[in-house]
């Protein structure tokens, strides 16, 4: 278990504009959060890392952005309409509803009464809606509970347009929705979440080697996220706990501040989904080998990453404290390529035009090169350094009176707080 407290992370994330409660001015909405300006930047950096690791770096990966709304027959065929359930129980005393598998005794965790919990009922977690003006059974649609089905129903399109060789993958990042009975632990269990998923289509004889390749690929992605290897664990999920479609699942767990929990999953879905859609749609979803061999339904390895959980793990891992000048300091030790702001430029004073002019030149040079550079000219320099530490900015470049004379600046490093004097022309070498 990590020593960092979730409350401290939530408070920093709110204070510094990473994560806000959804619809906050109306009291919020359980299980739903908004990404603020710095949160969006950090989230994009995590997505980009995933994209470059698993889409750009692979020769046989096809990106996709399928719609969230789909024909309801997709969810009937996939088994979600009947099988995507959690066990729900209700307390007859306080009428609270909760997930049966989250309750450890016959005592209601909300009101504390014993023997008031009813029998578990199956609760389908898909959000239902209606398409068009008529609200009847025909118009039912669902907000997708996983991005994966968008991939399966486009399998035929990708094969027909690109004629890929097996193995190949289809990758997408997108929103998914689950009507969780008890959303909890901030970004961990959400009702609106984002997934980064790959369906990797393989010959049935090759599934084991592909599964192993993706197991290693997942671990190396966590390393790139800066997650300590001692905090990432693999759990071989027993048959009785696996999703209805899976023949083998490894959950990658992380030591979150509230305990060891699932960070991402790797599943062997066999031919379950393509078979189910072939049967329900009447379309041929077989793959015909280019050597003229017999057509067959490929099997699927699915690495599925939750973006919000990755974001939470990255923040928990980066949250650090130390003592500087007798005061406690909080800083985010984010890997440089994930930090929302790469460098901050701080003119020491605002009212000296020569100094501001130099600072603007430095800012422009860094911005042209690095993109996410922040101009910070309000408040005192010590407080500004602390603010930049709290948002994980690796370097602060300070322009002071000496800069006007000799074209040198001070570069301060976030983790050590060490400062060095550097020529303007050498800043980039120092901060990249």
Exposed (0-12), middle (13-18) or buried (19+): which is 240, by Cβ within 10 Å? exposed
Residue number, 62 or 256, with CB nearest to ligand GAP: 256
Cβ(297)–Cβ(287) under 8 Å? yes
Compute the least distance from the CB of residue 170 to ligand GAP, in Å: 13
Q: Beta strand pairing status for 299-306 and 319-324? A: unpaired
Instruction: Select from 109-117, 127-135, 209-217, 303-311 the region that touches ligand GAP (CB under 6 A).
Output: 303-311
193 binds ligand GAP (CB under 6 A): yes
Q: Does 148 help bind ligand GAP (rule: CB under 6 A)?
A: yes
Paired sense of beta strands 395-399 and 408-413, if any: antiparallel
Looking at beta carbons only, is 173 or 376 nearer to ligand GAP?
A: 173
What tokens does 159 get?
A: 């094969």
Residue 308 binds ligand GAP, judged by CB under 6 A: yes
Number of residues forming the site for ligand GAP (CB under 6 A)? 18
Q: Which of 34, 180, 185, 337 binds ligand GAP (CB under 6 A)?
A: 180
Query: For residues 125 and 330, which CB has a smaller minimum distance to ligand GAP in the complex?
Result: 125
Question: If binding is defined by CB under 6 A, does position 277 make contact with ligand GAP?
Answer: no
- Nearer to ligand GAP by C-beta: 5 or 244? 244
In the list 80, 144, 178, 342, the residue contacting ligand GAP (rule: CB under 6 A) is 178
Among 265, 303, 335, 347, binds ligand GAP (CB under 6 A): 265
Q: Give the residue closest to ligand GAP by C-beta.
A: 306
Piece of the chain touching ligand GAP by CB under 6 A; list 159-167, 261-269, 388-396, 411-419: 261-269
Applying the rule CB under 6 A, the residues between 239 and 258 that interact with ligand GAP are none
- Select from 34, 47, 90, 262 the one that contacts ligand GAP (CB under 6 A): 262
List interacting residues with ligand GAP (CB under 6 A).
146, 148, 178, 180, 189-190, 193, 195, 197, 262-265, 302, 304, 306, 308-309
């Amino acid at each position: 278990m990590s020593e960092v407290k979730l409350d401290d992370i939530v408070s920093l994330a709110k204070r510094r504009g990473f994560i806000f409660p959804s619809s906050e001015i109306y009291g919020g909405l359980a299980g739903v959060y908004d990404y603020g300006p710095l949160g969006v930047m950090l989230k994009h950096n995590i997505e980009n890392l995933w994209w470059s690791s698993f889409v750009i770096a692979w020769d046989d990966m096809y990106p996709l952005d399928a719609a969230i709304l789909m024909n309801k027959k997709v969810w009937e065929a996939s088994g979600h309409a009947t099988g995507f359930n959690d066990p729900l129980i209700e307390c007859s005393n306080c009428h609270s509803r909760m997930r049966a598998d989250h309750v450890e005794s016959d005592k209601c965790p909300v009101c504390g009464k014993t023997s008031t919990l009813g029998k578990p009922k199956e609760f389908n977690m898909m959000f239902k809606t209606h398409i068009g003006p008529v609200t009847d059974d025909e118009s039912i649609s669902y907000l997708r509970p996983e991005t994966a089905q968008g991939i399966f129903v486009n399998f035929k399109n990708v094969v027909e347009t690109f004629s890929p060789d097996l193995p190949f993958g289809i990758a997408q990042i997108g929103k998914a929705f689950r009507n969780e009975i008890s959303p909890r632990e901030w970004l961990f269990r959400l009702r609106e979440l984002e997934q980064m998923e790959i369906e990797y289509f393989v010959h049935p004889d090759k599934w084991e080697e592909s599964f192993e390749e993706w197991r290693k690929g997942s671990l190396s992605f966590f390393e790139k996220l800066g997650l300590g290897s001692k905090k990432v664990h693999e759990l071989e999920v027993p048959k009785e706990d696996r999703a209805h479609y899976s023949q083998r699942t490894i959950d990658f767990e992380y030591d979150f501040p509230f305990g060891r929990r699932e960070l991402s999953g790797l599943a062997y879905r066999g031919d379950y989904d393509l078979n189910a859609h072939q049967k329900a749609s009447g379309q041929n979803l077989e793959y015909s080998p280019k050597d003229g061999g017999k057509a067959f339904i490929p099997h699927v390895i699915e690495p599925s990453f939750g973006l919000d959980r990755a974001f939470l793990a990255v923040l928990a891992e980066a949250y650090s404290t130390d003592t500087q000048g007798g005061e406690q300091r909080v800083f985010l030790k984010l890997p440089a390529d994930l930090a929302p702001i790469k460098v901050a430029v701080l003119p020491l004073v605002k009212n000296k035009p020569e100094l501001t002019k130099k600072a603007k030149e430095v800012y422009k040079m860094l911005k042209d090169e690095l993109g996410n550079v922040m101009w910070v000219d309000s408040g005192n320099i010590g407080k500004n350094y602390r603010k930049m530490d709290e948002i994980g900015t690796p370097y602060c470049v300070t322009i002071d009176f000496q800069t006007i004379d000799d074209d040198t600046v001070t570069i301060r490093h976030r983790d050590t707080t060490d400062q060095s004097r550097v020529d303007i022309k050498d800043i980039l070498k120092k901060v990249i």
